[in-house]
Amino acid sequence: MTDFLHRLPEFASQHALLVAAFVGLLLALIATEALRLMRGWREITPATLTHLINRQNALLIDVSSRADFEKAHIPGARHVAMAQFDPEHKDLAGVKDLPIAICCRSGVTSGKAAARLVKAGFKQVHSLGGGIGAWQQADLPVARGKD
């Protein structure tokens, strides 16, 4: 190990571009992880969502479009189109401290909705990573229609 440490300055001086790329990637990784930790909501897997629904009675909101919701959604999910999604709504005021899971078709829109919930003061906000596609890939049941 000490031989490695003694030869490290020589390597760095001979491969400055490689060292600069490594440091840049390392800083980008640290910044990305720091932002992920500070955003206030967690991206979860289908297994974790199942646990939240079954053990903690999480409120599940699907912010997919109406057509996508009718094609396939998680049983028990409440549909709220993103255009009508309002974290300040009086019906949500009583659940600010309860676990809330947001999902959508791909997982992108649900992240935006989760950020809005955190900004409105919700404490336990989760977003299904990969959306309904990840749920279906995990071979979990889906419902179809308006439900």
Give the DSSP letter string of 128-140. ETTHHHHHHHTT-
User: Is pTM beyond 0.95 here?
Assistant: no
Residues with Cβ < 8 Å from 127, sequence gap 6 or more? Answer: 41, 42, 43, 44, 101, 102, 103, 107, 110, 111, 113, 114
The pLDDT value recorded for residue 147 is: 61
47: its two tokens = 């297994």
Cα–Cα distance measured from residue 147 to residue 145, given in angstroms and rounded to the nearest whole number: 6
Q: Is 104 a catalytic residue?
A: yes
The pLDDT value recorded for residue 90 is: 73
The pLDDT value recorded for residue 2 is: 78
Tell me which amino acid residue 43 is. Answer: E
Q: What is the pLDDT of residues 111-131, one digit of tens each?
A: 999 999 998 888 899 999 999
Structural fold of domain 41-137: Oxidized Rhodanese; domain 1 (3.40.250)
Considering 63, 77, 104, 117, which one is annotated as catalytic?
104
| The pLDDT of residue 107 is above 70 | yes
The pLDDT value recorded for residue 121 is: 87
Helix-strand-coil split of the chain, %, nearest 5 = 55, 15, 30
Q: Are 122 and 94 in contact (CB under 8 A)?
A: no
Q: What is the pLDDT of residues 86-105, one digit of tens each?
A: 888 777 777 888 899 999 99
Q: What is the pLDDT of residues 21-74, one digit of tens each?
A: 999 999 999 887 887 777 788 999 999 999 999 999 999 999 999 999 999 999
